[in-house]
Amino acid sequence: MFLTLLTFAVQLLFNLYATSAVSAVAHDAARTAAGGLDGSRTIEATIADAEAEARAALGQYGERLEFDWDIDARRVRLTIGAEHPRVAISPVASVFGFNRVDRTVEIRIEEVR
């Protein structure tokens, strides 16, 4: 029982940290993409650079990221998903839903007048 509670606590703390890190990286990547849409580069190049920076910021965990971009003339919307590594026993982790994080960030593109 003690080991189950201990692994649950470790899994919970890891997931809270990973969720916070993914949220921060999602915001930074969307902001980078929105700032890079000034017409000097292609959208594909801007997105590739933003994704590379996000993956580099998270190290090995960045390899788990899945990106879904939605860009139009007024905003950049980015959804990032990632599977968490499991520290807890699989039945414990699956019962509490600590297996995945999905974050959506929307950044408005501002125009200089």
Residue 113 domain-assigned (yes or no): no
Per-residue pLDDT at 90 = 65
Residue 9 domain-assigned (yes or no): yes
Which range of residues forms the domain containing residue 63? 2-108
pTM of the predicted structure, to 2 decimals: 0.82
Residue 86 domain-assigned (yes or no): yes
Residue 76 domain-assigned (yes or no): yes
Q: Where are the beta strands (DSSP E) in the chain?
A: 66-71, 75-83, 100-108
Q: Of 1, 22, 3, whose CA–CA distance to 87 is shortest? A: 3
Give the CA distances from residue 61 to residues 18, 39, 56, 104, in Å, rounded to whole numbers and listed in that order. Answer: 9, 32, 9, 18
Residue 69 domain-assigned (yes or no): yes
Overall number of domains in the chain: 1
- Kindly state the DSSP code that residue 62 receives in the 8-state scheme: G
| pLDDT, tens only, 54-111 | 999 999 988 989 999 999 888 999 999 998 777 666 666 566 666 788 999 999 987 7
Q: Are 26 and 78 in contact (CB under 8 A)?
A: yes
